[in-house]
Structure 1
């Protein structure tokens, strides 16, 4: 029984959180002042948000279901972004931009009432993942477009909840004649080179009073969760080819440079902080064993608790790469092509979100619980079903993962939470997440999340005191640090944008660098 396992909880760890099994293995050890920090009664705005979401329910579910049926990889989200744009236009939102910040499938839309007032943002995502296509069934079976692509991170639900919250908040503001601006950011490519980082560099979040988002998960929870900052490097070694059997002395192996780099990284590990993560793959290592490789390439992800630490480790990694090149008489090229900030939590927004979460009618049918338990049997997990309660507030903890929401959080107060859309113990980026997202479990995630965000959004729109408290916590945590984009100034857009989208968007004329479709997925996933 889930309640029995909850009683046995006695510790929290990054590992259990990321594995998605935290709900059945850990208890929250929170400072009493934080646990009791929910100020004020939100019953009125929670009820209004529930009613407003009911009024736009069909639009929310239409977004989630259509995006689920047409899954698209990062930077390829033509249909998915257009589904959101179609519904936003229908709901009376102005499309401020498409192809935002150089990314064809990104956009910004907004709606304003009155001549002044607060500005609240929402962050829908809609990209899918490779190899996770699945039908809405509790077994592995191809989905609407096969198995190649599927919403194994639940972004069909995530996007529907965020955009739907904007619709509901608009209705609440009209009903009470509340002035303000609602802004919806179409956040393409979260799984690779997230649009939010490019938007943040362009200052698109800096005028907001607050930003709200959620993510599907195995639990119903919010708290002072921090994600890791990250840098991603492409390290390419250039050598000299030769016949490996006849005259290898004439060559210089790029692969040896790459291999020595890997060894150098292993020797770094003893001296890294517990928060540091170094992981990499070889994306090019030669084509024939009897030919000295003239080129080799590594994609390297470096994570740490904040930008200062991750940048420090990055410089060491670059030194190792250069040293390996010197040792093997090869040449190395280092492209620091992407990075993300750590997530800056906001205690004021977290408390307000949790207050609204506790007002949710968290209900799962017997059929939905049975569906969830079938996954758990399939994956040899305890048959605990779906989480039926709201978790206590989570204490401050840094996870090993990263998100481009971090860059948003360094530009405006940002609130995040999770709603259970997958069985307890099942992690993200798995086929059960895709399956649950295509049926009533996923529908409830979209609806529940929209209710919470609409309610909190309304509170922010109507309470200058709440906005001031969120800003004060933001300023305190930021501690005077200036946001400096992790992107190089010369980096105009992400890798991997299909040529036809660049042509359609007018972002790029046909040239040598785009002769081939840039669809090979060498970019790692956050």
Structure 2
């Protein structure tokens, strides 16, 4: 095994790059599928560091990519993300304050840090491989649109993780821990209703309201909640519900996500929802169409990888925070009405049994194709949630960057072991094979769906190549 001190040093050497990427991607704050400048920035940094970009617009997602260094076996993957969230733009201050440059979106889930930390770990590993003549292939995946349509799902459909010995990932949180956890499987869908328009005052009997159908469907969903398992989640918004009250609306659309512990259960709920949509249409003499446009698999644990990663998480420990950073953290906690405990002071112990979480991630699809493991690392004060203005603020200043550098050390150390320890690779593979026995992975995508449905027209097909050519040459 490689001395940890050597790994720590190569990550420290990459720390300025981690900070630069984190800050620049935070400033860009590009939404899912639109991360053109962010993905281009990360690709440039990787190329400048000796990686070869082997794929752009990977698997039909224009802002996804793959980069490699080295050759042969073993093969290690590192997952990066870089999409922001709508409406969470905030100055890097401990209060809710709109950005002065007018950018309204923000990195409230810290994907700027995920991208930066992953890139830093990859650069550190690449330099270590060269310095110590370590054989193998190191591959960085540019995983666009994690918050919406999940580039990893499209990559997994193409088999792009299948040749890996393992894949590593990380995510910002309020406490540091090894992510030997189970997330939920999910299906995201659009439910459309088609009716007949008419004058709502003169002759409404000639019309058939699509909004009536949508409301009846939503009522059925809410009645269903009593009869689904506590592990299930169903949430929706109305995307279209008429234009004017004096016109019987002939179109309505509901955007809905359901979650359960695995694909079989989430598909069962989806079938029930389809029946509800058809029933609502029958009751209102309209027509219904339910389309699942993407689904994520649940995340599989991997005990050997988790145990090894825990040793390095404990070795890295918690960053040292300045008095100003601790004050920043406590002011945010005050704003949210939680205890002023500041930043976490130590990592959590390894979970004895993988807890089942209510959230979802397209990393789940990766975990059904190769042994996978990650960490959560503290980048916000204790008690503060992701998807908040407070998280955006922390992820744009030194607290978040310290978390990204520390996470990179854990990823790099675990990655170095995977590249040099065949027993660890074998144990991780055996655990993976046991958990996936009898399961055939099939991406939750319509076979005819080549691209994410949320892509703007100008980013599809030929326009995609011309658009990126302009960005790269800029």
- TM category (shorter chain) comes to over 0.9
Q: Contact between 1:196 and 1:408, CA under 8 Å: does it hold in 2?
A: yes
Name the SS of the counterpart of 2:181 in structure 1. strand
- The match for 1:351 is 307
**CA distance in 1: counterparts of 2:448 and 2:10, whole angstroms:** 44
Name the SS of the counterpart of 1:130 in structure 2. coil
**CA distance in 1: counterparts of 2:223 and 2:465, whole angstroms:** 47
Is 1:166 aligned to 2:122, yes or no?
yes
Unaligned runs of 5+ in 1: 1-41, 509-526
Name the SS of the counterpart of 2:80 in structure 1. coil
Name the SS of the counterpart of 1:401 in structure 2. coil
Is 1:316 aligned to 2:272, yes or no?
yes
Q: Contact between 1:285 and 1:295, CA under 8 Å: does it hold in 2?
A: yes
Query: How has the CA–CA distance of structure 1 residues 430 and 147 changed in structure 2, closer, same or farther, with 3 Å as cutoff?
Result: farther
CA positional deviation for 1:499: 3.1
Q: Which moved more, 1:363-372 or 1:286-295?
A: 363-372
CA positional deviation for 1:223: 4.2
**CA distance in 2: counterparts of 1:224 and 1:464, whole angstroms:** 21
Q: Contact between 1:68 and 1:151, CA under 8 Å: does it hold in 2?
A: yes
Count residues with an aligned counterpart: 464
**CA distance in 2: counterparts of 1:451 and 1:369, whole angstroms:** 23
- The match for 2:458 is 500
**CA distance in 2: counterparts of 1:51 and 1:384, whole angstroms:** 31
CA positional deviation for 1:261: 0.9
Q: Contact between 2:34 and 2:63, CA under 8 Å: does it hold in 1?
A: yes
CA positional deviation for 1:396: 1.4
**CA distance in 1: counterparts of 2:310 and 2:3, whole angstroms:** 14
CA positional deviation for 1:270: 2.4
Deviations 1:89-108 (A, max 9, x none): 00110100111111111100
Deviations 1:228-284 (A, max 9, x none): 000111110000011111111111111111111112222322221121111111111
Residue of structure 1 aligned with 2:436, choices 478, 482, 495: 478
Deviations 1:493-523 (A, max 9, x none): 1122233333532499xxxxxxxxxxxxxxx
- The match for 1:279 is 235
Residue of structure 1 aligned with 2:155, choices 175, 187, 199: 199
Deviations 1:187-226 (A, max 9, x none): 1111110100100001100000000000000001114311
Matches within 5 A, 1:14-25: none
- The match for 1:186 is 142
Deviations 1:99-141 (A, max 9, x none): 111111110000014xx32111011100111111112211222
Residue of structure 1 aligned with 2:328, choices 353, 371, 375: 371
Q: Which moved more, 1:218-227 or 1:408-417?
A: 218-227
**CA distance in 2: counterparts of 1:144 and 1:500, whole angstroms:** 29
Unaligned runs of 5+ in 2: 468-474
CA positional deviation for 1:421: 0.4
Is 1:388 aligned to 2:345, yes or no?
yes
Name the SS of the counterpart of 1:350 in structure 2. helix
Deviations 1:128-165 (A, max 9, x none): 11111112211222336435111111111111001111
**CA distance in 2: counterparts of 1:258 and 1:498, whole angstroms:** 26
TM-score scaled by structure 1?
Answer: 0.86
Query: How has the CA–CA distance of structure 1 residues 65 and 303 changed in structure 2, closer, same or farther, with 3 Å as cutoff?
Result: same
Q: What root-mean-square deviation, in Å, do the aligned CA atoms of Structure 1 and Structure 2 show?
A: 1.4
TM-score scaled by structure 2?
Answer: 0.95
**CA distance in 2: counterparts of 1:455 and 1:129, whole angstroms:** 30
- The match for 1:298 is 254
- The match for 2:471 is none
Q: Contact between 2:74 and 2:137, CA under 8 Å: does it hold in 1?
A: yes
